[in-house]
Amino acid sequence: MIDPAAELRLDGRVALVTGGTRGIGRAIAEACAAAGAAVAVVARKPAELEETRAVLEGLGARVSTFAGSVGDPEVAERAVGRCVEELGGLDVLVNNAATNPAFGPLVDVDLGAVAKVLDTNVVGALRFVRAAWRAAMRERGGAVCNVASIGGLRPAPSIGAYNVSKAALVHLTRQLAQELAPGVRVNAVAPALVKTDMARALWEPDEPASAASHPLGRLGLPDDVASAVLFLCSDASAWTTGTCFVVDGGASLR
């Protein structure tokens, strides 16, 4: 018989979360720590990393931090190397960090900005998977979860570059799930609008209207996404790979 409390635990495992100091990434890092994992956090700002370290250690987790951008080609290898050195391995990888500097129709936006979005959101995730595979997961297995978006499943105005990158991330998830099976499971989550600083321009001008567009009557919270990620990275989803788990308050029903 399944023990739900045990299935969702990550005791004895090491999780690495990119963009883990704020918003969805922070909630994921805290969920992994609360579930018993040691946690490595990668983000750009040292001060935010130190504050995050204090919170995660307060949850009883061993913590490693690395300051750098996932858009930097050298960061993945170095961050994964530090994680393995300081925490003893790597079992769970969450590619959460993303950027979105390109707003407007794709026929108009600066192509340099589009290239940055694709490199950070797609190639950056691949770099981390490759580093995790070579450093630990090829031998010991593991679980990868990519934070995509419902924008990767359907078009929307003004954020086309971001949406295209998330669509590519969803397909990258399926491709890697096929290539890395059976030892490594690779899944994705696709949130709708979540109340984070990154998405503030989308929800803050009229939050009630934004909330009303979701059948469940509210916007998402970072913890809503973190719960789905924890499920996909835990033994509770041991027979699940190559899937994209939509977490959208019902928004895709409309």
**Secondary structure of residue 53 in the 3-state scheme:** helix
3-state secondary structure of 91: coil
> Would residue 162 show up in a list of annotated catalytic residues for this protein?
yes
Distance between CA 74 and CA 211 in Å, rounded? 40
Q: What is the DSSP letter of 51?
A: H
Would you tell me the crossing angle of helices 160-180 and 124-132 to the nearest 10 degrees? 20
Dist CA 151 CA 194 (whole Å): 12
Q: Give 6's DSSP letter.
A: H
Both tokens assigned to 43: 């983000």
List the catalytic residue out of 66, 133, 162, 245. 162
Beta bridge partners of 246: 190
- Backbone φ and ψ for 217, nearest 5 degrees, come out as 80, 15
Residues 190, 195: Cα–Cα separation, whole Å: 15
Pairing of strands 92-95, 63-67: unpaired
**C-alpha separations of 196 from 177, 191, 245 in Å:** 29, 12, 20
Catalytic residues: 162
